[in-house]
Amino acid sequence: MSSFLQNYELLRKSVPTSAVSVQAEDSNYLDTTYYSKGCYFCFDNVFLENCLYCYNCDEAKDSMDCLMTSDGQLCYMCVNTTSSYGCTYMVNSQNCRDCHFSFYLQGCQDCFGCVGLTRKQYCIYNKQYTKEEYLTHLEALKKQNPEQLMQQMDTFKKQFPIPASLQRSAENCPYGDYIHHSKDSFWCFGTYKVESSGYVYDCGSLTNCWDLYFAGGKKGTVDCYQLTDCGDCYNSGYLWISDNCTNCWYGQDLSGCSDCFGCVGLTRKQYCILNNQLTKEQYEKAIVDIKRELGGKV
């Protein structure tokens, strides 16, 4: 290990950092949850409002017990469901309203126990009903045990072919899964609004980024490499739990910094190396030596 990396590791261990990473108001028991309010026991989320027990969701409101749910409202027990309202026990669906115990629906309303339907209404187990018939059957179905209904749906969906890769509004995104509104990206999983990027997981709003986990932000992250739990960064790499950074490399717990190298716990700083303040000229000269020591990999 180079002397720079050894010194950086010593600095990381010596600077205290927060036990959790949260930017939320009126919320309790959160971690890695940002730009949110009124939430409880939520992890790895962005833009939530009044949500409970949610994981890896974004832009969700008044929802509970959801996983990978985007732009949803009044949703419960939904997985990989986008742009939906008033849905429960939904999986891999989008643009649905008042649908329940269903799988792989698109643009549906008032459906129950259905699989693979598009722009349908008043259907139960893929059978078409009138509005009056549907509401009558729905009242009886609501009285059944949710676990039994889930088992019935699981058995029913096995009759239908399902795509190997679940993508929506995605173009040229091979070798990935759960990809939304993205293009020209490779090996992405659980991503949305990603462009010209690769090897990313649980990310959104990225352009020309590689090897990222849980990164994105309000404005988006551009030209970055090897980020974890970061937002709104530009031309940066090897960062962890940082936001709004530009030209920063090998850093942890940075906020609003630019031109920092090997720093930890700084806010709105520039031209720092290993938390030491330098002039612009000193910084640029030192960076040349560090890059040479690291083998020119930065």
DSSP per residue over 215-232, as a string? EE-SS-EES-EEEEEEES
pLDDT at 1 over 60: no
Residues 134 and 236 in one domain: no
- Is the residue at 218 inside a domain? yes
Distances (CA, A) of 164 to 70, 153, 176: 21, 19, 9
Q: What is the mean pLDDT of residues 180-204?
A: 94
Number of domains in the chain: 2
Percentage above 70 pLDDT, the chain: 99
pLDDT at 34 over 80: yes
- Is the residue at 10 inside a domain? no
- Is the residue at 254 inside a domain? yes
Domain boundary among 157, 181, 209: 157
Reported as a pLDDT band with limits 50, 70 and 90, residue 166 is confident
pLDDT at 21 over 90: no
Please state the length of the chain. Answer: 298
Percentage above 90 pLDDT, the chain: 86
φ/ψ of 155, rounded to 5, equals -70, -40
pLDDT at 264 over 90: yes
Q: What is the mean pLDDT of residues 49-66?
A: 96
- Is the residue at 6 inside a domain? no
CB 189 within 8 A of CB 195: no
- Measured distance CA(189)–CA(40) in Å, rounded: 26
Residues 178 and 229 in one domain: yes
pLDDT at 297: 56
Residue among 230, 257, 265 nearest 13 (CA): 265
Q: What is the mean pLDDT of residues 21-50?
A: 94
Distances (CA, A) of 155 to 7, 102, 126: 57, 12, 14
- Measured distance CA(122)–CA(133) in Å, rounded: 8
Residues 27 and 146 in one domain: yes
Residues 244 and 148 in one domain: no
Residue among 69, 78, 73, 23 nearest 50 (CA): 73
Residues 289 and 249 in one domain: yes
pLDDT at 2: 72
pLDDT at 164: 84
Residues 86 and 198 in one domain: no
pLDDT at 56 over 70: yes
Residues 131 and 188 in one domain: no
Q: What is the mean pLDDT of residues 183-205?
A: 95
- Is the residue at 64 inside a domain? yes
Domain boundary among 124, 157, 190: 157
- Is the residue at 11 inside a domain? no
Residues 195 and 270 in one domain: yes
Residue 208: domain span: 167-293
Domain boundary among 137, 157, 177: 157
Task: Give the residue with greater pLDDT, 298 vs 216.
Answer: 216
- Is the residue at 298 inside a domain? no
Reported as a pLDDT band with limits 50, 70 and 90, residue 274 is very high
CB 262 within 8 A of CB 274: yes
Residues 92 and 197 in one domain: no
pLDDT at 145 over 80: yes
Residues 138 and 172 in one domain: no
pLDDT at 237: 97
φ/ψ of 71, rounded to 5, equals 50, 45
Residues 109 and 189 in one domain: no
- Is the residue at 151 inside a domain? yes
Helix (H, G, I), strand (E, B) or coil at 35: strand
> Is residue 252 classed exposed, middle or buried when 0-12, 13-18 and 19+ CB atoms within 10 A define those classes?
buried
Task: Give the residue with greater pLDDT, 1 vs 148.
Answer: 148
- Measured distance CA(220)–CA(200) in Å, rounded: 14
Residues 48 and 147 in one domain: yes
